[in-house]
Structure 1
Amino acid sequence: MISHIELPEDILRHIYSLLTMRDAARTTCVSQRFLHFWRCFPKLVFNPETLAVGRQPFFRGEDRGKYIFRKAQEVLENHSGIGVKTLKLHLSTCCKKDIDTSLLAGWLQAFVKPGIVDLAVLLPDCYAFEYSFPYSLLLNDDVANSRMPSVLKSLYLSSCGFHPTPTDDPRMLAFSWSLSRLRLCKVGVTGNEIWFFLSSCFSLERLDLSNCDMITYLKIPHVLRKLKTVWVRMCRELGVIESHALKLSTFSYEGRRLSRFTLGDSLETEELDMHAAHMQDMLQYAGSNLPSIAPNLETLVL
């Protein structure tokens, strides 16, 4: 009978990376080796579920957000910052006084690096116009020069500002080249800013916008040749949607009636699923325009 098997470190590290964050943290009590692995753990997710906040019977409602932020601080300040692929900071249940924005900025600076795949920052509603996601983190010269290719696939921001600014060198936006999903909820961003950012998201497949009340005009550029799904919800000031995405197959809209809606001059998709509230003229638009702009369309769902 074999009493002990010494696995190669790369295999052991891979097995360790498959654990949940809570289980990975518990293994640090077993050996120094696991403690070393923990300091390079790739999936850092902080929310009420992963931290088992609901299992703390003596917590008052206002204590839960404070607990989440404190636990995030403990883990991140003891992490090496190396090898992180997922960083999700779900801090929306925190109170304003629970969050130290200087610490938050430091964490993002330390962990948002070219190897990250999934990034989410969700703040309380009170921060929607008080804190801006540091857009400069997405301007990385190493990525632009292909020394460290970007693998960022998903970006989810909630209740913060997001202000992409034009740059003379479009290669500096290389962090967004690999992005396949963008979700913005209660984010302070203008139509021009979102258009500028989307113009470099060549791999984008899904766009979700909700309660982004600074957007009055949403223009989706034609360079998004992989974009298939667009969801727009309750952006109160939005009046115009203009899409030039050739492969769009699902469009869903909920909000006030738009003064103008167009899917551009050409649509290559064979299937199109369109859902909209307060847009009684969508049926008329589909009947009048789709036969000419979407010659390959075989299935239409309204």
Structure 2
Amino acid sequence: MPLRDAARATCLSRAFLESWRCHPNLTLRQPNGAVGDLTDKIDRILRNHSGCLKVLELGLDGISCRYLDSWLRTAVTPGIEELTLRPFRWKYNIPCSLFSNGVRKSIRYLKLGFCTFPPHS
């Protein structure tokens, strides 16, 4: 369901709102050329999600690392099984601390495009 339609349905139905917050699979991709308030929308979606994520796919272009860091710290928690991250255009230094002990035990599929792991000092 497109994001706009999901938001409208959430306004109309309390039951849909609860199911949206517990949906275990989230795929968030940027529409061609749109950045605008996309960061605010994704921020709200991930903040309001209840933490039962199993699959997260972020396909974004031109989004600040500051946002990605925040979103990943919110969404990548023990219990996540699949993570796909494609920031496009620029390399993203994915924080090693993201993969805590609980995350390392649950993750089964990891696909990172244009990502690097910074060396420890």
TM-score, length of structure 2 as denominator length: 0.76
Task: State the secondary structure of the residue aligned to 1:83.
Answer: coil
Q: Measure how far apart 1:21 and its partner are.
A: 6.7
User: How far apart, in 1, do the equivalents of 2:14 and 2:74 lie?
Assistant: 24
CA shift in 2, pair 1:149/1:120, >3 Å: closer
Instruction: Say how many residue pairs are matched.
Output: 119
* Residues 287-298 of structure 1 aligned to structure 2 (within 5 Å): none
The answer for the alignment partner of 1:83 in structure 2 is 52
1:30 and 2:12 aligned? yes
Segments of structure 2 that go 5 or more residues without pairing to the other structure are none
1:114 to 56, 78, 100: 78
The answer for the alignment partner of 1:45 in structure 2 is 27
Q: Measure how far apart 1:84 and its partner are.
A: 0.6
The answer for the alignment partner of 2:115 in structure 1 is 160
User: How far apart, in 1, do the equivalents of 2:9 and 2:104 lie?
Assistant: 32
CA shift in 2, pair 1:34/1:162, >3 Å: same
Q: Measure how far apart 1:116 and its partner are.
A: 0.6
1:71 to 16, 37, 41: 41
CA shift in 2, pair 1:112/1:86, >3 Å: same
CA shift in 2, pair 1:149/1:159, >3 Å: closer
Q: Measure how far apart 1:25 and its partner are.
A: 4.6
Which one has a bigger Cα radius of gyration? 1
Contact 2:47-2:74 at 8 Å conserved across structures: no
Segments of structure 1 that go 5 or more residues without pairing to the other structure are 1-19, 54-60, 166-302
Paired residue type of 2:47: E
Larger RCO, structure (CA 8 Å, separation 6 or more): 2
- For the aligned residues, what is the CA RMSD? 2.8
User: How far apart, in 2, do the equivalents of 1:164 and 1:21 lie?
Assistant: 39
User: How far apart, in 2, do the equivalents of 1:39 and 1:111 lie?
Assistant: 12
Give percent identity, aligned residues only. Answer: 35
Structure number with the higher helix fraction is: 2
Paired residue type of 1:133: I
Contact 1:25-1:38 at 8 Å conserved across structures: no
User: How far apart, in 2, do the equivalents of 1:149 and 1:111 lie?
Assistant: 14
Q: List per-residue Cα deviations over 1:132-182 (Å, max 9, x = no partner).
A: 111112132xx3xxxx993322111111212476xxxxxxxxxxxxxxxxx
Contact 1:21-1:44 at 8 Å conserved across structures: no
User: How far apart, in 2, do the equivalents of 1:86 and 1:71 lie?
Assistant: 19
The answer for the alignment partner of 1:136 in structure 2 is 97
